[in-house]
Amino acid sequence: HLLERQLRAAIDSGDQLQLYFQPKVDAISGLPVGAEVLMRWPQPERGMVSPGEFIPLAERTGLIRPMTDWLLLRAVEQIAAWQAAGLEPGKISVNVSAHSFYGGGLVRHIDELLARSGVAGEQLFIEITESILMHDREAAVQVLSDLRERHIGISVDDFGTGYSSLGYLQRFPVDEIKIDRSFVIDVDSKAGNQALVSAIVGLGRALGLSVVAEGVETDAQAARLRHLGCDVLQGFLYARPMPADQFTAYIAGAT
């Protein structure tokens, strides 16, 4: 397929794919606590290809592994550059797909990047979906423990959409849960969504996890999520995903 060839070329060339950063803010103060990295692909002939299109393609073809390795490299280099400039970007979260998570080599790759750059593991968060974690629970515990040993944070993405095994959440060394956008959309008007968010916050508190709500678009949603006890908010209300140089200005202005 043409798109697959183009994606392979983009990964090989190393200068077509871009890292965008979407701030995560403290629910109470509104100050940034970090950002989620989201991959963007401005393809020279096609224009911006949607991640909804090229991420599943990358997952089907196995290209997601070199792509994630490259993204991790660039993310760690960027953190080092911000720190060298005296800026504090907070914790930078990288999405990791099943191939990378279970394929072996993820932790070794991160070790190399951290050693080479001098960046501390605690600067990084790995976002992994609930369903990926449940796929092979024993293998997952091993990878998560390896990451924890390096003080790398673990975030459970799209929380509430998989078939949750709440018992396992307690056995996984996890730091953060991200309430899926689908529960956030109507949280200001639907009692059911409020009850869900409230239950997830209660679970997070009981297990000592930070609770993030994603996809926050309105003040009404933010006020309700804050009232329900969410710790961190992320969404278009605060900022859209932005290129590194814009995020530099964002954190420089926020401090």
Which of 10, 55, 76, 110 touches ligand G (CB under 6 A)?
55
Stretch that binds Mn ion, among 66-74, 92-100, 139-147, 154-162 (CB under 5 A): 154-162
> Cα(146)–Cα(234) distance, rounded to whole angstroms?
27
Name which of 147, 36, 144 is nearest 93 in CA terms: 36
The tokens describing 183, both together, are 């529960």
Q: Is 130 in the site for Mn ion (CB under 5 A)?
A: no
Which of 108, 151, 171, 227 touches ligand G (CB under 6 A)?
227
Name which of 159, 148, 168 is nearest 234 in CA terms: 159
What residues contact 12, with CB distance under 8 A and at least 6 apart?
Answer: none
> Tokens 């960046």 appear where?
119
Q: Which is nearer to Mn ion, 65 or 178 (by Cβ)?
A: 178
Q: Which is nearer to ligand G, 6 or 99 (by Cβ)?
A: 99
> Cα(164)–Cα(253) distance, rounded to whole angstroms?
39
Stretch that binds ligand G, among 72-80, 111-119, 143-151, 230-238 (CB under 6 A): 230-238
What residues contact 183, with CB distance under 8 A and at least 6 apart?
Answer: 160, 193, 196, 197, 200
Q: Is 229 in the site for ligand G (CB under 6 A)?
A: yes
Least distance (Å) between residue 207 CB and Na ion: 20
As a whole number of Å, the end-to-end CA separation of the chain is 47
Q: Is 36 in the site for Mn ion (CB under 5 A)?
A: no
For residues 140 to 169, the per-residue mask of contacts with ligand G, x marking binding by CB under 6 A and - elsewhere, is -----------------xx-----------
Q: Which amino acid is at 161?
A: T
Which of 158, 175, 176, 231 touches Mn ion (CB under 5 A)?
158
Stretch that binds Mn ion, among 63-71, 91-99, 155-163, 185-193 (CB under 5 A): 155-163
Q: Is 175 in the site for ligand G (CB under 6 A)?
A: no
- Pick from ligand G, Na ion, Mn ion, none: which does 39 bind, CB < 5 to 8 A by kind? ligand G
Crossing angle of helices 2-13 and 51-61, in 10° steps, is 90
Q: Is 31 in the site for ligand G (CB under 6 A)?
A: no
Q: Which is nearer to Na ion, 157 or 231 (by Cβ)?
A: 157
Q: Is 1 exposed, middle or buried (0-12, 13-18, 19+ CB in 10 A)?
A: exposed
Q: Which is nearer to Mn ion, 157 or 175 (by Cβ)?
A: 157
- Look up residue 224 and give its DSSP letter: H
Sign of CA dihedral 186, 25, 242, 5: negative
Which of 9, 28, 207, 220 touches ligand G (CB under 6 A)?
28
Count of residues that bind ligand G according to CB under 6 A: 26
Interacting residues toward Mn ion by CB under 5 A: 157-158
